[in-house]
Chain A
C-alpha cells in the first residue's frame, strides 16, 4: 500500500508594500477560452485558468509532483486500483459549509457526465465511508493517472447542493469567489476569506479581463489595461526589453509535434518516418519561432524529465543529407509528397509550418501545407483522413509523463485509431506507467518508450513550449511564476503594490 501525505505550504508574512485590497487585472481570452463555471458542462479546458481560482481540486498540480488539495492525503492500494482520499480537516466552501467526502463524491459524479472528463470513466464506484474519507474503486490499475487528473477540472470539488446552479453561481473551496461575470468581457473574483491557505494569496481579488491573443495581448500589458497576461513567444520579443514589464518563463514538458498518418502512404513506411526525424531543424525553430526561450525536442521528454533517455540524447539533429539518403534507401528516388495539415488562426503554428516545409523540402520531401480551422480538425483530419501529417501539440502538463501517450499509442485512443499510431510495443509500457506518478516507475518506462518513438518515428517531436507570463512591475509584487502547461494561472504569493 502506498501512502502519501502532502500539502501546500502557507506563504510567509505579507510584504510591507502589499495592498491587501489590491485587485489584479489579468488578461485572458474569455470569449474564446471560457464556457461557464460548471466543471460538468464546461467544454473549454482553458476555463481552468479562471475556475482553478474558485474551486479547489482534489489534488494540486506541480511540475514534478502533485500535492494535497481538498484531499490532504491519499492512499493507493489494491494494485493501483483503489484510491482512498482523506479530506482536509476543517476545510469549508466559500459559503461556509464544510467540505465532506459526500461533496467530493457528488462533484466527481456530476463532472463525470461531461464526455471531456474521460479520466473519470476509470471510476468503478465511490464510497464515502465517513465525512472525511472517500474510497474510489477504479476499473483499471491507473491510480497515478487518476490522481493527476484530480488536479484538473476533473477533480474540482463543489457542494452537492450547488450543482444545479454551478454554471452561473459557482461555489468552491478555492482562494477566490465569483463577484460578477460579464460574458465575453470580464470575470471578477474577490478573495475567499474562508480559504484554508488564505495567507498564500495576498490579493484582494482578481479581475479577468477579455484580451484576445496576438498583438492585443502586448497592447494590453504595455498600455496598463491589464497587470498580468500570458504571452506567446512571438509577443515575448516585443516586451522583453521594456523596463516596465517583467517576464517569468517556465519550461514545460508540452511540445509541438508532427503527427503522421502511420496507416497510409508515405508514413506507413517506417523508413520514411525515421528519415523525418532528421528532416527538422529543431534548434533553428527554437531561435526563429520561439524567440530562443523554448527547447528543441530531440525526443519526447526534455533533459529534466525522468523520461529523458540519455542514450537517445540529441541524436536526431537536422541532417537533410542523411534524411535524403534514408529515403533513397527506402526506395524513394523522387521527393516524397506530404500534405501537412496546419490549424489556422494560430500564428505560431503557421510560422512553424513554413519553416518545416522548407526544411523537409531540403530533406527529400515535398510538403504542401493546408490550413484548416481548429473546429474542422476532428472531422477532416481524423474521420475523413485528409492529409498525411498534422502539426499538433502533445500536452503532458506535469508529472504524469505518460499521460499524452495513452490516446496516441493505446488501441482505445482516438488518434491511435484514426492516424494508425497504435503501437503494440509501446502501449503496455504506457499502460504500466499509469499505475503511479512515481518517477522511479514512470521514468524507466518512458525512457524506453521515448527511444522507440524516435527510432520508429511514431511521431516527430519539434519543440518544448515555454510558458511565459508578462506583468507590470510597478503594480505586481511577489514572485511571479509562469505555470506549466497551457491555460493555467498561478496567483499564489502575488500581490498588488500599494
Chain B
C-alpha cells in the first residue's frame, strides 16, 4: 500500500476513535444538569413572584422531574435528529438556530485572529530561528515574550482607546454582516482580530523558532548544506516541514479555543458570537443552550484535532503507524 493508502487508513482509524469519544462527550455535556446549581423552573416561574404550583408545573413541562437517564436519552435522541432543544428563556427559539446565527461571527473572528497569528508568527519564528542569536532573533524573542504576556482583553481595551475613542479611526464595537457592507464588516473586525491574533502569533513564533533551531542542528540538515543545496531548499523543503509540525498542533489547539467563543473579546467589542450567547445562557441557567454550545464546541475540537492529526500524519509519516 502506498503512502496515500496508509494516510487513508490512518484517517479512518482516527474517525472511528471519535465515535465513542463523542458519545462520552455527549454524556458529560448532559451531566451539566447535575453539576450546575440552581433551578431554571423557579426562575421561569417568576422568581420571587413564583408559587409552588407554577414551579411544579414548569418542572413537569421541562421533564426535570424525570430520572436522569431518561432525560439524557430524550436529549440524545433529539441531538441525533439534529434537535438541540429550545432555549428555556427564549420560547420558540431553537438552540440550533441560536448557534447557527452566532457561529458565523465567532468563526469569522477565530479565522481572522488565527490567520493574523500565522501570518505574523510563522515568518517571525523562521527569521528568528534562521538567525539564532542575532539582533533579529532577540527582537522576535522580546516581542513574542511581550505578546504572550499581554492579556488579550487588556490589549483590546488599549486598541479601543487608541483607534476608536482617541482617533476615531476604527469603530469601538459592533458587528456588521458581510452581506450588509463588506467594508464595514472588515472595519468592525480589525481590532478584535488584532487583539486575538497578537498573543497567538507570539506563541507560534516562539514554537517555530525553537523547532527550527533544533531542526537546523540535525545531521541531515548539515548533510543537505554540505551537498550544496540552496538555503531556500534547505529551509523550505527540509527544515520547515519538520519544524512546523509542533506549530500545527499549537495552531489547532488555539483555533479550537477560539471557536469555543472568545467570551471577553466578544464582550468588549459587543460581537454577537457564541461566547456572548453561552455567557448569557450561563447567567440564566439556560441549560439547553449551555449543553448545545458545549457539545458543538467539543465536536469542533474533536474535528480540529482530527485535522491536526491528519496534517501531522502528512508532515510526519511515522505518526501514521501509531
Query: CA–CA, A31 to B285, complex, Å?
Result: 15
Which residues from chain B contact A413 at a C-beta distance below 8 Å?
Answer: 48
The answer to whether B272 and A223 touch across the interface, beta carbons within 8 angstroms, is no
Q: Interface digits, B24-54 against A, CB 8 Å rule (1 contact, 0 not)? A: 0000000000000111001111111110001
Docked complex: B260-282 residues within 8 A CB-CB of A: 267-268, 270-272, 276-277, 279-280, 282
**Contact (Cβ within 8 A) A32 B171:** no
- Chain A residue with the shortest CB-CB distance to B48: A414
Interface string of B100-117 (1 = CB under 8 A from A): 011000000000000000
From A31, A116, A168, B272 is in contact (CB under 8 Å) with A31
Return the contact of A219 from the options B54, B160, B282, B283 (Cβ within 8 A): B160
Residues of A contacting B279 in the complex (Cβ-Cβ under 8 angstroms):
31
Bound: A220/B268 CA distance, A:
10
Known A185-B272, A223-B164; judge A35-B89 contact (CB<8 A).
yes
Choose among B49, B160, B272 the residue that contacts A210 (Cβ–Cβ < 8 A): B272
Query: Which chain B positions have C-beta within 8 A of A220?
Result: 172-173, 270
Are A116's CB and B174's CB within 8 A? no
Q: Which of B38, B161, B172 has the most CB of A within 10 A?
A: B172
A246 shortest CB reach to chain B, Å:
17
Interface size on A, residues (CB 8 A): 45
What size tier do the contact residues of chain B reach? 35 or more
The answer to whether B175 touches A185 (Cβ under 8 A) is yes
A378 to B42, CA, bound (A): 8
Please tell me if the beta carbons of A375 and B165 are within 8 angstroms of each other in the complex.
no
The answer to whether the Cβ of B98 comes within 8 Å of any Cβ in the partner chain is yes
A216-B268, A223-B165 are contacts. A36–B174 as well, Cβ < 8 Å? no
B49 x A414 contact (CB < 8 A): yes
State how many angstroms separate the Cβ of A259 from the closest Cβ of chain B: 11
Q: CA–CA, A407 to B279, complex, Å?
A: 30
Interfacial chain A residues near B271, Cβ < 8 Å = 185
CB distance from A314 to the nearest CB of B (A): 30
Q: How far is the CA of A407 from the CA of B276 in the complex (A)?
A: 33
* Known interface pairs A31-B280, A223-B171, A225-B172; A115-B101 also in contact (CB < 8 Å): no
Minimum C-beta distance from A47 to chain B (A): 11
Chain A residue numbers with a CB within 8 Å of B74 are none
Q: Which residues does B use to contact A, with CB under 8 Å? A: 37-39, 42-50, 54, 58, 89-93, 98, 101-102, 157, 160-161, 164-165, 168, 171-175, 177, 267-268, 270-272, 276-277, 279-280, 282-285
Would you list 14 pairs from A and B whose C-beta atoms are within 8 A, ordered by A residue?
Answer: A31-B280, A41-B92, A115-B46, A115-B49, A168-B92, A182-B272, A210-B270, A211-B270, A212-B268, A216-B267, A219-B164, A222-B165, A378-B42, A414-B50
Residues of A in contact with B (beta carbons under 8 Å apart):
31-32, 35-36, 38, 41, 43-44, 114-116, 118, 167-168, 182-186, 209-212, 215-216, 219-220, 222-225, 345, 373-376, 378-380, 382-383, 407, 413-415
